[in-house]
Structure 1
Amino acid sequence: MQRQYRQSLSQATSLGRNRAIGTAPMRRPGAVGAEAGTPAASLWRHAAASASVRTADPTATAHASVGSAVRTGPKAPDFRTASQTTHHVLARAEENARLNDYEQGVKTAFDSIVPTLKRISALQHEPDFESQAQAIARRELGFELPEDILADAWIDQLDMRHLYAGCTFATYHRFCDDFFTTDPLAVEDGEKNFNGGFEGFLQTCGFHTLDISPCADGRLAHLIRYVLRLPHRAVRRKSYAGALFDIENSVQKWVEVEMLRFRAGVPNTADAPTRYLKVVAYHYSSVDPEHGGCAAHGSDTAKAASAGLERLLGFQQAIENSFCCGASIDLLLIGLDTDTDAIRVHVPDGEGAMALDRYVDALELYAATARQDASRARHDIQDAVRQTSPGVAEGMARLIERLIENNFSQIAYVRDYHGDHYADIGHAERFIGAGVGFEEIQLRNLMYFAYLDTVEEAASDLDVGIRIFTELNCRRGLPVPVVVRFDYHGQVPGARERAVTRCRRVTEALQSRYRDLFGRGLLHVLQVVRDCNADAPIEILECTVNAERKAGGH
């Protein structure tokens, strides 16, 4: 199952061509959760519980496109064929149905914003406009719109930019509340035998920590819980543009993990024969390889993979040079086809070395084992891993086998609910997330990640995100919604205050760096913090939508 990389013919990335080709169906929003608790501030007033809590109708969303750059319009055609819909014996259909219901519910809530605001806009000169608008908003979005914006509509045009940004932030708020109060992506009883004990399984493979750095591209945001089907709380994830993770930050995390093992025996004691496993996940496009791959690497798959491997080796070298214990670090390189969600795993040899042209292709293996019984299919996965790299360590081989088998469920998920590939093969993110946190973002093309402490250190990541949203939103006159967030450890004195300060500092830096967009009302920022130790909901601090309305801006 080894394959050679396909070199792209061009390294230039066209954001225009990189836009999604499908459109999201116009549906009423699914369940994103009722109000949970009382945060320090509420963005906009939620509707009554009967209107704000809905459950997505699986029969209405079973084969729908999940969104595109335009995000509104007719349902995408069903591209499935009889061979594609053949059930794979290792695919977990019940889990797929549950995950699809959740994804459709959340994305429909975001994708309902534009058609709902269009409907409201058409009524702005009606005599009872305000009451009609609020009734529509409560019914379709689950919350009420600011009364002052509606009341001023008779004077001038309705302020759609403020409404769009505010609706996006309010929907994000409700989505977060639901995630942290109901834990919708928890591993259920039927799945626990397979992945519920993942941390224990990981240690039997010889690893005490799994640290994954995917690309910040929103098409990889679902990598942990969907593509690899791992419990999201059991994996450290930190995303960077091009998957080029910060080596110093990763060294610091390694030190923290090893100190906890030594001082507290968490997740196991320091004398246990386990290692820290660092993984890079790069990505590529099988449908449009020249334009639909990683923008940070010019849609060049070989370049993306090579850069990821180089960064992994740099991390290992940093540990070895600093602590003389490079042997305690293991590395793994994974590629993701963002069109089909199939992975390719570069299997290390007995010395832990990887080669760019030595990997197992899960999509090919899926097709080869589709009509076998479970025992034979698992046997063929084992053979493929060991034939690709005969000297691979036993524990590493078993982990890779688990990841490939898990990925079979995601391949089936895409085929069952989307066809040959996703309709939105390009960018279709709904907002940008900047800061530290965002554990709840486990859905594809929902948010573009920009992990940072300061704008300056992540300027390139942010610039990529702004370019993406200039095409997605600004070109249509819609603003770029940015959520600035910093999670903190509540048991540390002064941690919340420092998180609040970081939020304000980053917001000011964003407004300065992108002053033209901000000055034209094409960039809005929501500031939030969260105590991650208390497993608490997010706390709203400030929002430029409300601040500018009070100041009379835009």
Structure 2
Amino acid sequence: MNSRQAQQALRVTRQIQGKGHALHKVTHPATPVAAVVDTGTRLTPVANAAAVGSHRHPLANQHANARLAHCEESVKGRFEAIPPALQAIAGLHLGAGFSTQAQAIAETQLGYRLPERILNDAWVSGVDMKALYAYCTFQALKLATEQFANDLRQQVEAVQDTRNFFLDCGFHAVDISPCADGRLKGLMRYILRLPLTSLTRRKAYAGALFDVETDVRHWVTTELRRFREGVPTTVDAGTRYLKIAVYHTSSSSPCHEGCAAHGSNDHQAVAAALDRLNQFRQAIENSFCCGASTDILLIGVDTDTDAIRVHIPDGEGALSPQRFVDNKVLYHATLGLSADQAGLVVHKAVETAINQHGWGTGQGAPHDGMRRLVTNLLINNLSQMDYVMDLHNGQYADIGHAERYINVGDGFEEVQIRNVAYYAHLHTLEEGVADMDVGIKIFKGLNVTHGLPVPIAIHYRYDARVPGSRERTVAKAQRVAAAIRNRYAALVEQGLLYCHLSVQDAPTGSPVEVVEDVA
């Protein structure tokens, strides 16, 4: 199955359009441009579609695109099958045989059975569709997690290659903090095409405003392990810790569909992310006198097209909002070239940005490893741009929010699909209340206005090597759930907020252990 065929299959399953997932009332039965790239050029979505025609990019990995399209089809298809199935159940007569008929519909359309208690009690006051919707959402999440975990186990070679590439570039750790927006949920697997490795860490925060103190502690843990165990490199290896922040914009609706945490103000999103990166680097230098071993990188994502904009450090490691390479420009500049020619243009664009004059002028060039990493990220992203061009005519139909659930805690790092989940990273509600409030606001528009509940998946990881870790993690999940239910009590009382609690051992791909379900 090629990527277009996979997407066609996906579209067949999409019965519900728009941002909401409401249960409706049921009744029975181009010409290539020159290879001289201006990194400040802006192209409109209409121009994108016209320019690409039936072409495919010479550097795009079509095999990977087809595999990812199949993955998107299966994962999103599970969520999108929920409303039609529940609509069919809502149309059944609540008499003898209702439960049997409802289970038959669920098994046929969803692939799993529904809670008997909810179905058996339906004759009293009707079917609790809100509870069923939440239950089905969490079941779809469970199946997606299992699918991704199985897929990860088949990517051993790719994971090792990526790990070796980071080390060859001089990085012993890569810590990525994207915005918590669900449109960036596929950042690693799709947009950047980076598999999860032992060197990478991804934690999302509203507005990419990561917690500096938490990340400094992670830096300390990483460096201590290098000192004590020599893993992944020894302290004299000269490798660096790389911190990346990822903000996002919307090229077609910048004033409305940009980052909600920054009021869709692109300049504020860039400035805030850059400020956090500088704070992190300064904190390391002030506390440990070794800022030279820490690199920072800023990446922007146009969530309409998944095109990235990479802000390139100078020779001192400093970043500038004005010094970047826009991959949307590169895509169109290299579309009609050979693979070798296109690769050369990408390399030249990076060098042009490094040596630019004016507002973005820097102090020399970054080290070779950083240049290699930036070039590799740009080339990887060309495959994703080709994916969006081929399957979505150059721009996603859902340029705004279309998440299915809120993920609270450590996150299901295995599940990496665009617009599936809004992520709130927190250990207590108090410290993450801003992230949660943004998420609830989003889901009031997506679900609550249609009478559907807000599904919240509370998920934390524990370390099985540490005595009592699982018990403490379970207690933390229960404590956070109680705090969420208390803060949003009005939604809970109306049956418009449901929590699902689970824990998982630290290694990626470990089984998810359910602590509390809907039924």
TM over 0.5: yes
Q: In structure 2, how many angstroms separate the alpha carbons of the residues matched to 1:492 and 1:268?
A: 24
1:99–1:185 contact (8 Å) kept in structure 2: no
1:111–1:357 distance in 2 versus 1, CA, 3 Å: same
Q: How does 1:275-424 map to 2 (within 5 A)?
A: 275-390=240-355, 391-424=365-398
- 3-state SS of paired residue (1:210): strand
Q: How does 1:24-43 map to 2 (within 5 A)?
A: none
1:272–1:184 distance in 2 versus 1, CA, 3 Å: closer
- 3-state SS of paired residue (2:432): helix
Q: What is the number of residues matched between the two proteins?
A: 480
Q: In structure 2, how many angstroms separate the alpha carbons of the residues matched to 1:448 and 1:118?
A: 25
2:111 to 142, 155, 168: 142
| 1:330 maps to amino acid | D
Matched, 1:258 2:223: yes
2:176–2:246 contact (8 Å) kept in structure 1: yes
1:495–1:84 distance in 2 versus 1, CA, 3 Å: farther
Shift of 1:361: 0.4
- 3-state SS of paired residue (1:277): strand
Q: How does 1:481-496 map to 2 (within 5 A)?
A: 481-496=455-470
2:274–2:298 contact (8 Å) kept in structure 1: yes
Matched, 1:478 2:452: yes
Shift of 1:152: 2.4
Q: How does 1:497-512 map to 2 (within 5 A)?
A: 497-512=471-486
Matched, 1:183 2:140: no
1:473-499 deviations in whole A, cap 9, x for unaligned? 111111100011110110011100110
Counterpart residue number, 1:248: 213
| 1:483 maps to amino acid | A
2:51–2:332 contact (8 Å) kept in structure 1: no
Shift of 1:171: 1.8
Counterpart residue number, 2:70: 101
1:359-405 deviations in whole A, cap 9, x for unaligned? 10001001001111111111111111011013232211111000000
1:60–1:510 distance in 2 versus 1, CA, 3 Å: same
| 2:9 maps to amino acid | A
1:124–1:153 contact (8 Å) kept in structure 2: no
1:102-142 deviations in whole A, cap 9, x for unaligned? 11101110111111101110013365322111101001111
1:213 to 177, 187, 196: 177
Counterpart residue number, 1:232: 196
Counterpart residue number, 2:19: 69
Q: In structure 2, how many angstroms separate the alpha carbons of the residues matched to 1:283 and 1:118?
A: 35
Q: In structure 1, how many angstroms separate the alpha carbons of the residues matched to 2:258 and 2:8?
A: 32
Q: In structure 1, how many angstroms separate the alpha carbons of the residues matched to 2:280 and 2:9?
A: 47
| 1:334 maps to amino acid | I
Q: In structure 2, how many angstroms separate the alpha carbons of the residues matched to 1:82 and 1:387?
A: 24
Counterpart residue number, 2:358: none
After TM superposition, the structure 1 stretch with the greater mean CA deviation from structure 2, 198-207 or 257-266, is: 198-207
Q: In structure 2, how many angstroms separate the alpha carbons of the residues matched to 1:432 and 1:468?
A: 10
Counterpart residue number, 1:513: 487
- 3-state SS of paired residue (1:417): helix
- 3-state SS of paired residue (2:52): coil
1:305–1:82 distance in 2 versus 1, CA, 3 Å: closer
Counterpart residue number, 2:507: 533
1:317–1:326 contact (8 Å) kept in structure 2: yes
- 3-state SS of paired residue (1:110): helix
Matched, 1:118 2:82: no
Matched, 1:468 2:418: no
State, as a whole percentage, how many aligned pairs show the same letter: 49
| 1:147 maps to amino acid | E
| 1:533 maps to amino acid | P
1:78-124 deviations in whole A, cap 9, x for unaligned? x9557243111100011000001011101110111111101110013
| 1:112 maps to amino acid | A
Q: In structure 2, how many angstroms separate the alpha carbons of the residues matched to 1:534 and 1:402?
A: 24
1:269–1:124 distance in 2 versus 1, CA, 3 Å: farther
- Give the superposed CA RMSD: 2.0
Where do 5+ consecutive residues of structure 1 fail to align? 1-55, 74-78, 547-554
Counterpart residue number, 1:166: 135
1:68–1:427 contact (8 Å) kept in structure 2: no
Q: In structure 2, how many angstroms separate the alpha carbons of the residues matched to 1:364 and 1:126?
A: 61
Counterpart residue number, 2:408: 434
1:484–1:425 distance in 2 versus 1, CA, 3 Å: same
Q: In structure 2, how many angstroms separate the alpha carbons of the residues matched to 1:343 and 1:57?
A: 24
1:485-533 deviations in whole A, cap 9, x for unaligned? 1101100111001101101100110011111111111110011001123
1:393-447 deviations in whole A, cap 9, x for unaligned? 2211111000000000000001111112001100011000111141122111111
Where do 5+ consecutive residues of structure 2 fail to align? 24-47, 356-364
- 3-state SS of paired residue (1:257): helix
- 3-state SS of paired residue (1:387): helix
Counterpart residue number, 2:165: 201
- 3-state SS of paired residue (1:269): coil
1:57–1:356 distance in 2 versus 1, CA, 3 Å: closer
After TM superposition, the structure 1 stretch with the greater mean CA deviation from structure 2, 156-165 or 170-179, is: 170-179
1:115–1:81 distance in 2 versus 1, CA, 3 Å: farther
